[in-house]
Structure 1
Amino acid sequence: MSYPWGALGTNLWVTAVVTVVVFAVALGVAVGLRKGRHDGIDVVWGLAFAIIAVTTFVLSAGHGDDLLRWLITVLTCVWGVRLAVHIFLRNRGGAEDPRYVKIIEGARGNPTLHMIRKVYVPQAVIAWIVSLPVQLGQYGIADGPIAVVVTVLGVLLWLVGFVFETVGDAQLARFRADPANRGTVMDRGLWRYTRHPNYFGDAAVWWGLTVLALHHVAGLIGLISAALMTWLLVKGTGAALLERSIGRRRPGYADYVRRTSGFLPLPPKKGTG
């Protein structure tokens, strides 16, 4: 069976519209109900991928392999909803995210238009691009021995990533909940082997979903998405951005950096603690 490029094309523009609507609603809630507080977009980030996956699942009926469609949709939704719930609970009752405070402070003119240009439009575009493996994969056909290898490898990568992200977030939440740890560095559990197990987990999840899209050569397009997500997590809005300020808030962080891998999980360096 040939790849349904026409149906995929329709899927791509429909999900583009859906993505715009999702982030427009997020903006409306931020401005109208939350009085200019914008950290809710971080909750929407995970939900957007789940919505794109479900939209693609509906549109791909009759084109892609049913088992593959279900698998990709379920894995994406589990990841996206879990992330959204985690961020919602983490932010509940706290102050606005300092990143968004800084962006708003730099506004010249209407702060809402400034946030649209600096935050909402970029995140919507990135979410749609990163979601390409989820869309491409649901139009593929899982057939032949190679399909088994691709499916198993993709699910294993997703599972490793999901465990790292979920366990890492839970360990950090427990650490922060203990007043005795205030001002200290989290270097236990998974955080002993990588300074960012949650970000590493995010990347592994998306490489897993990208591998699942490789049932057809069209899935190679998704490699761009996985690479973009990894770059954002390592050099963009993830680890690099966080570490620019965390050293000032955690006196022991410099030593932690010396002995602990920045991204990939590795044994701590000997002789440094």
Structure 2
Amino acid sequence: MNWHVELWIWLLSALALAVMHTITYLIARRLGRYNVVDAVWGLGFVLVAAIAAAVGDGSLPRRLVLLALVAVWGLRLSLHIQRRSAGHGEDPRYAQLLDRRGRSPLAVFTWIFLIQGASQWVISLPVQVSAAAGDTRGLGLIAAVAGVVVWLTGFLFESIGDRQLAHFKADPANRGTIMNGGLWAWTRHPNYFGDFCVWWGLWLIAASAWPGVWTVFAPLIMSYLLIQGTGARLLEHAMRNRPGYADYRERTAYFFPRPPR
């Protein structure tokens, strides 16, 4: 492990995320809505993975694999969010947050953009640390292959789930009803479950060489955010009074997929 190189990766990643979110903040101020920050969530991870791959001196195949997987996931997610939010106003989550924290430029930048950038830096630590780690051998190679399989499972769940929901919402006949078909019949949050698998898969690849294994706190943090934090739990709270949602909850798993009842 080359800690000198690793420190450079940490520094450059933090600087790049700070610049990206500053530019995003200025664009958001001009547009008059701050949910544009969601569209750069995936892009921030791609940026960090690119820096790690370029600056790192660890295993080149592992650096390229992680860059490719993060890029495919991040670019798809950012494009999906940009399309989904186009033509809509502010996200109620941010409106409620700013009502509590204040709407001064410093409060907005701190509670929306700075916190998201810091979260991206911490969650991406497996990718950053792996870039300066040694070669993957023996059991590490098995872990890396398992990581790719877990990542692929998550990517398919997330992308197919998003597409199924988009098609459902595009049909006027479904207005006011609950999406309960396809992957949405197996879990109430296939997109969040997919995200969960993506980051555990990336961690398995990073953990294939020391000291990547110690970054396990990163997917744990992401898991908490997806299951109990700003992901599934918050959406459940927003949907609780929708007609038919109580029945949907009874039939369908909360997070981890299982056959519908």
The alignment's TM-score, normalised by the length of structure 2, stands at: 0.96
2:120 and 2:248 map into 1 onto residues whose CA distance is 32
CA shift, 1:218, in A, is: 1.0
CA shift, 1:107, in A, is: 4.6
CA contact (8 A) 2:134 2:210 kept: no
Counterpart residue number, 1:239: 232
Counterpart residue number, 1:22: 20
Aligned residue for 1:40, secondary structure, equals: helix
CA shift, 1:141, in A, is: 3.1
1:218 and 1:173 map into 2 onto residues whose CA distance is 40
Counterpart residue number, 2:253: 261
Aligned residue for 1:106, secondary structure, equals: helix
Count of aligned residue pairs for this structure pair: 261
2:141 and 2:130 map into 1 onto residues whose CA distance is 14
**149, 166, 169: which one pairs with 2:159?**
166
Amino acid paired to 2:170: A
**46, 54, 59: which one pairs with 2:42?**
46
CA shift, 1:103, in A, is: 2.2
Encode CA deviations 1:187-216: one digit per residue, 9 max, x unaligned.
100000000000000010000000001122
1:135-214 to 2 correspondences below 5 Å? 135-214=128-207
Amino acid paired to 1:14: L
Amino acid paired to 2:51: T
**What 5-or-longer segments of structure 1 have no aligned partner?**
none
**199, 202, 210: which one pairs with 1:217?**
210
Aligned residue for 2:240, secondary structure, equals: helix
CA shift, 1:120, in A, is: 1.3
CA contact (8 A) 2:42 2:75 kept: yes
2:124 and 2:185 map into 1 onto residues whose CA distance is 31
Counterpart residue number, 1:81: 75
2:243 and 2:135 map into 1 onto residues whose CA distance is 52
**62, 66, 69: which one pairs with 2:63?**
69
CA shift, 1:143, in A, is: 3.6
Amino acid paired to 1:46: G
1:143 and 1:57 map into 2 onto residues whose CA distance is 16
CA shift, 1:165, in A, is: 0.2
Encode CA deviations 1:150-209: one digit per residue, 9 max, x unaligned.
221010010000000000000000000011111111110000000000000001000000
Amino acid paired to 1:268: P
2:136 and 2:93 map into 1 onto residues whose CA distance is 46
CA shift, 1:116, in A, is: 1.6
**75, 85, 92: which one pairs with 2:86?**
92
Aligned residue for 2:230, secondary structure, equals: coil
**242, 247, 252: which one pairs with 2:244?**
252
Amino acid paired to 2:19: V
1:71 and 1:143 map into 2 onto residues whose CA distance is 12
CA contact (8 A) 1:140 1:215 kept: no
CA shift, 1:13, in A, is: 1.5
Aligned residue for 2:34, secondary structure, equals: coil
**What 5-or-longer segments of structure 2 have no aligned partner?**
none
1:207 and 1:239 map into 2 onto residues whose CA distance is 17
Amino acid paired to 1:210: W
The alignment's TM-score, normalised by the length of structure 1, stands at: 0.92
Counterpart residue number, 2:96: 102
1:77 and 1:165 map into 2 onto residues whose CA distance is 15
Encode CA deviations 1:101-145: one digit per residue, 9 max, x unaligned.
22233354x532221222112111111000001111222333432
2:235 and 2:23 map into 1 onto residues whose CA distance is 27
**Between 130-139 and 224-233, the greater mean CA deviation after superposition:** 130-139
Amino acid paired to 1:253: Y
Seq. identity, %: 40
1:4-15 to 2 correspondences below 5 Å? 4-15=2-13
CA shift, 1:242, in A, is: 0.8
Amino acid paired to 1:102: Q
